[in-house]
A and B are shown apart, each in its own frame.
Chain A
Amino acid sequence: MTEITHHLPDWLVRSYATGSLGHAFSLVVAAHVSQCDECRARLEAEELAGGLVLDDLKGMAPSDDLRRRVFDGLDDDDVIVAEQPARAGIYPGAVVEAMGADSPRWRALGGGIKQAILSEDKEGSARLLYIPPGMAVPDHTHGGLELTLVLQGSFSDETGRFGVGDVEVANDDLDHTPIAGMEDVCICLAATDAPLKFKGLLPRLLQPIFRI
């Protein structure tokens, strides 16, 4: 695997650790950390800090019923702990979970470019993009923050080259034209905290107002 050179910003790692990140961005964090030990270590450091705060926290007495439920549950083999699916090819487990399958359900966008929407809620959206070699990555920011994680191939723009595992963090003031590398089809996981631009089903007036 090539060296990852573009990592997650600190505030994203921390927002993920503390549970304040929406689903779409959480997906990018989980997918990047799955293949980046540097950011895995940063996330685990954040969790160590979270654990310290938890240790020093003024607690709230649990009910006696809770104690009974927990201790009764220890020998109950019917209790199932949910597992996230395993990685499938280039797709980390979190992406497999979001796809609901081992491969994306692509929809053509024209010019050989395809997309598969993974999630969409009031906090943002996540999708996979399929860009043939040498093609421009569609610019789909809509006034928000956009994270793009490369899962296969690469893309390059004015700010540099992004290979497998690299994540680009773009504000809408970044005017860039990413082009897929010639070596392979580029497959990216893209998440934004703004409504999708070219899905085009939702009338503008119905699009919710977002906090950045």
Chain B
Amino acid sequence: MSDMKLEQDQKQTPSENAPKMRRDLSPSEAVHEKDWSDHKGILIVVEQRGGIAKKVSWQLLGEGRRLADKLQTHLSALVIGSNVSGLAKEAIYRGADNVYLCDSVELENYRTRPYSKVCLAVIREYKPEIVLLGATYTGRDLAGAIATHLPTGLTADCTQLDVDENRLLLASRPAFSEKMLATILCKQYKPQMATARSGVFLALPLDPTRQGDIITIPSQMTEGEIVTQVLDFLEQTDHVSLEDQEIIVAGGRGLGGPEGFVMLQEFADALGGVVGASRAAVDAGWIGHDHQVGQTGSTVRSKLYFAIGISGAVQHVVGMQNADMIVAVNRDPQAPIFKVAHLGIVGDLFTLVPALTEAIRAQKRNSGSVPVAL
């Protein structure tokens, strides 16, 4: 097995140097026989940008806490970045027993090699039995690299996690356009790795009385050794993150066009919520992809979810079925959306939405309740 100081950084121009595979990176028969009982505990790799953690990281700490308690083992977090010691504390408050902190200037922006080397150093030293990352773009990029180097099995984009009496991670993920779930095991390798979807698991409330060790990990590469450069980050300023919203009013093809979304925005404003959408509405160009709920959009857990002119295709439903209260408006009484809705209204949305907007406004005036601050 290769050690951390890899030789890859003396890259030469392609015309001089044929690619050479690092043949030590794959499982070999010897691995199967290995005794893994020294691997203990669960490790969550925390993702952050600019010192702010991704929601999914705290959600995974919440789920990791549950699994660690079930296995009667410890839960650790790994925080990587520059000026991120505050996040290490927060990870403890969010459920971690201890935190590995690697804080160094060259780790300010995510880059695969320096980040994966830190993860590998921690995993090889502290030998967790389970490693979880968010199934974000960055999380998948990083997890794919780590699992290949270790090597071990990696289950992608899980929406259910559990452990069994043999300490096996039961990692379940949607398959075939969300029509099925598949449970995937990694029996003969440790750690068992998975990436998990944002918005599915519940974060624990912040508990500042929790205490735990913070263990400093040295950075594994110097800036001079890193080939990849992040030149700029173009933040999408009008970006909406549906995953954090308490009230979502989602519209579908039934809205008929972008004007329908103007009407929907008014309704959302009355409720103090934001607008979501089905893929059909996004693909039609009526609203941006940020607003899409479902398999290829966001998974939400809002307290209130309106589905207006949305039929309820399985790929949409997987993204919203965990909302606390779902209200559906559709003119087709057979629409599958009614199977997951708590309140259903059969009728024409073009008359119902303005009426609902008015009724909500009136109720809020009467009860004196102001729209919740978001």
Instruction: Tell whether A pairs with B.
Output: no
